[in-house]
Structures are given as structure tokens and as C-alpha cells.
Amino acid sequence: MNTRGYAIVTASYWALTLTDGALRMLVTLYFHQLGYSPFDLALLFLLYEFCGIVTNLLGGWLGTRLGLRVMLLSGLGLQVIALLMLSFVQATWALALSVSYVMAAQALSGIAKDLTKLGSKSAVKAFVPERDASTLFRWVGWLTGSKNALKGLGFFMGGVMLSTIGFAMSLWIMAAGLMAVLMLATGHLTASLGKSTRQVAFSQTFSRSSAINILSLGRLCLFSSRDVWFVVALPLFLIEVVGWNFAWVGACLASWVIGYGLVQAVAPKALRLAGAPIITARTAQICGSVLILVSGGLAMGASSVMPSISLVLTGLAVFGIVFALNSSVHSYLVLAYAEFDTVAMDVGFYYMANAAGRLLGTLMSGWLYLETGLVGCLWMSMGLVVTATGLMFALPSIKYASVPTSK
């Protein structure tokens, strides 16, 4: 096991994730402050999510041919450029110019995030001996969980930075920090990391594995079910209905994502204690069924005549816990089903679907909140969870998927 390589990849991914979370909060709150509508705010993330789809599709193939080091370093570099671009936005610009410019910068950020994510998660399999399912699940759980905890910290950081030092200065500070990480990572990753031992045709980018295809469609629905209320609807609800300021909104979203990340990090141990010694399609089916109950109860509670704000926030917290278990199981299963020589492409195709789900959820979040408020977003979320869970019943059986014991 290459623990040193895993540590370097994880640290690089952490740095990118911290700036990604802060940037999302900065963009959402800053442009809401300038008077942008919920749908306008959703549009600012349109190319961010769309470029994630394309990046995951092409990135898996390029990673197999060029190596995961190129992907990871390219992602960090593009994020620095995106941060610097956004720092030049002026409040006096016309709406059309401002939206177009921000969308272009967000496109680079979307490419950066998914190049880094794809390179990092694919590299995990290269660092773990083949068929060592215990270590693989534990490392995937820790990488994914810690990443989401840091993204939550980024949300909080973005809200606080906007309230204290302003939009442009926040971006300059983040760009400088990420540049330092890029320089550090450049000399510590081997060029051969993740390169395929055989020639892979571009046509193989589209997975021929039924299991990968099912998991990918399930991932699309799963992440749409989260982002349909999380990306635009919840921050605006907390500002417009509850009356919170930017720092409180950032803290709330940060707490949700940090908690979500912590659950993912301990998911292997939690599932083992719950009596699931083997991670299979059945595990995904059970976790998904519980999420249906939670999302349905949340939607019904929010639909009452006088819904309690504390009840809604508690329900969203419970949703986050169960959602995190689902996400962790799915993230492990895609690596377990993937072929060793084409792991970057299989993971790339899977996270292409993940990005498509985020795009769909983001657009629905802005439109549904404008038309129906937070309640409509929550009902749509339940419908998407039902679809994602139903797909898990079509997964084939799998070998080598034991839950690791704690160490």
C-alpha cells in the first residue's frame, strides 16, 4: 500500500475542495446581494455543472492515457485561474455581461473540480493492492468523507470572508493558497500514476458494464435529490424567510456538509456495526429505502400550514446522515465493479452522471423555489430518491466487498 501517495493526493484534493466550497458560497451570496433572482443564481452554476459532465467523460479517457498526475495538477491550476478571473467582476457591470463572465469562470472551476476529483478517487485504487476490499472501502470512505467535511468548512469560510474582507480579496487569498499546494504536489506524484497498461479506445469511455451504467443513473438521481433543495433553495429560504445573515447561512450549510462528510468517513465502521459485513447491491437497496422514508417525512412536515423552522432543519440534518451512507456505499461499489485497467474511465463515466445530477438539481432548485418555494423542492427530492433506490434492485451480484474492521 502506498500511504505516502495517498496522503499527497488527499491533501491536494482537500485544498481544491476548500476553495470550491468557499467559492460556491461567495458566488451565491454576493450575487444575491446584488439583486439576482433565484433562477439567475442557478444560471451562474450552469456551465460549472455542464463542464463537469464533459470533464468526467473525457477526463477518464485522458487519465488512462496521460496518467492521473496530469489530471490532478491540471485541476489545481485551472482552479487558480478561475479564482483570479472572478476577482475582477465589478458590481457596475451590466447583467448580461456579468452573468456571461461569471459563467465562463465557473466553467473553468467546474473543469478544475472534476479533474481533481476524478484524479484523486481513481488514484486510490492504484495505491491499494488488487482485491484488498477492506482497505479500499476504508480509504474511499476517508477521502470522500474528509473532502465533504472540508467543503462544509469552505461554505462557512466563504460566508465569513464575504462579510469581513469582501468578494475580491477572498478570491485572491484562496488563489495564493492553492498555488502553494500546486507547487508542493508537482514534485511528489509519479508520471505513471494511473496510466493504462494497454491502449484504450475513446469509444470505451461510455461504459459497457451494466453495473456501472445502473450505478451511474442512480448517482444522477441521488445527487439531483440533494441539490434540488440545497444549492439555491435552502440559502435563499434562510435569508428571505428565516431572516438569517450571510455568516449564519454559511454556518448552516457548512454544518450540514461537515456532518455529511463525517458520516461518510465512518460509514465502513457504521455499516459493520449495523450488521452489514458485506457491501453489496442489497446494502444500497436498504440505505435507499431508509432515505425514501426520511425524504417523504421531511416533505410532508414542510408542507404543514405552519412548519417549524427547527423541525425542517432537523429533518434536513437526518436526510444528510442517511444520504451520506448512500453516497459512501455507491462510491465504493463503483470502484468494486470497475476493471483495474479502465478504472479512470469507469469512475469518470460514473462521476459524469454525478455532475449531470448536480446540473439537473441546480436548475430545478432555482426554478422550483421561484415557483413553489422550498416545499416543492423537497417533494421533487423524494421522487428522485425513489427512482435512485429502484435502480439499485437491478444491480448484479459482486465479489470482494467486505466491510473493513476498524484499525
Contact 281, 392 (CB under 8 A): yes
* Separation between Cα atoms, residue 74 and residue 78, nearest integer Å: 6
**Residue appearing with cell numbers 458560497:** 25
Q: What confidence tens digit (pLDDT) does each residue in 171-223 have?
A: 999 999 999 888 887 776 665 565 555 555 555 555 567 888 899 999 999 99
Q: What confidence tens digit (pLDDT) does each residue in 157-169 have?
A: 998 999 899 999 9
Whether the pLDDT of residue 120 is over 60: the answer is yes
Half-sphere exposure of 62 (CA within 13 A, CB side): 16
Task: Please calculate the CA angle 296-299-304 and round it to the nearest 5 degrees.
Answer: 130
Domain 3-186+206-392 has CATH 1.20.1250.20: yes
**pLDDT for the residue 240:** 87
Average pLDDT over residues 217-243: 91
Please report, rounded to a whole number, the percentage of residues in the chain having pLDDT higher than 90: 29
Whether the pLDDT of residue 380 is over 90: the answer is yes
| H/E stretch holding 76 | helix 68-86
* Separation between Cα atoms, residue 257 and residue 149, nearest integer Å: 6
**pLDDT for the residue 202:** 54
Q: What confidence tens digit (pLDDT) does each residue in 54-70 have?
A: 887 777 677 667 767 78
Phi and psi (nearest 5°) for 278?
-125, 130
DSSP structure string for 141-192: HHHHHHHHHHHHHHHHHHHHHHHHT-HHHHHHHHHHHHHHHHHHHHTTS-TT
Instruction: Tell me, letter by letter, the H, E, C secondary structure of 322-334.
Output: HHHHHHHHHHHHH
Q: What confidence tens digit (pLDDT) does each residue in 300-344 have?
A: 988 876 667 888 889 999 999 999 889 888 888 887 787 766 666
Domain boundaries, the chain: 3-186+206-392
* Separation between Cα atoms, residue 260 and residue 256, nearest integer Å: 6
